[in-house]
Amino acid sequence: MQSTKFYIDGRWVDPQERRLLDVVDPSSELPLAQISLGSAADIDHAVSSARRAFSQWSDVAVQDRIELLRRLVEIYSARIDEMASVISSEMGAPLTLARTAQAASGLSHLRIFLGEFENFRFEDVLSSQAPDDRIIREPIGVCGLITPWNWPMNQVCLKAAPAMTAGCTVVLKPSEIAPLSSMLFAEFIDRAGYPAGVFNLVNGDGPTAGEALARHADVDMISFTGSSRAGAAVSRAAADSFKRVALELGGKSPYIIFDDLDVAAAAARCARSCFTNTGQSCDAPTRMLVERSAYEQAIEAARAVAAEMQPDDPRKEGNHIGPLVSKAQFDKVQELIFAALGEGARLVAGGPGRPADFDKGYFTRPTIFADVENDMRIAREEVFGPVLAIMPFDNEEEAIRLANDTVYGLSSYIQTGDSARAQRVARKIRAGVVRLNGASRGPGSPFGGYKHSGIGREGGRWGIEEYLEIKAVAGWSRSAA
Tell me which residues are annotated as active site.
248
From CA 227, how far away is CA 250, in angstroms rounded?
A: 5
Cβ within 8 Å of residue 97, ≥6 positions away: 276, 277, 322
Rounded CA-CA distance 76/291 in Å is 45
Residue 6 · residue 13 · CB < 8 Å: yes
Rounded Cα distance between 27 and 92, Å, is: 6
Q: How far apart are CA 163 and CA 446, in angstroms?
A: 16
Coil/strand/helix, residue 123? strand
Crossing angle of helices 62-78 and 80-91, in 10° steps, is: 70
Q: What is the radius of gyration, based on Cα positions, of the chain?
A: 23
Comparing CA positions, the residue from 233, 232, 210, 334 lying closest to residue 279 is 334
Length of the chain: 481
CA angle, 219 then 182 then 273, to 5° = 105
Contact 211, 42 (CB under 8 A): no
Under DSSP, the state recorded for 447 is B
Neighbouring residues of 29: CB distance < 8 A, sequence distance ≥ 6: 327, 360, 361, 362
Q: Which helix or strand (DSSP H or E) is residue 104 part of?
A: helix 104-119
Determine how β-strand 142-146 pairs with β-strand 169-173.
parallel
CA angle, 290 as apex, 287 and 293 as ends, to 5°? 160
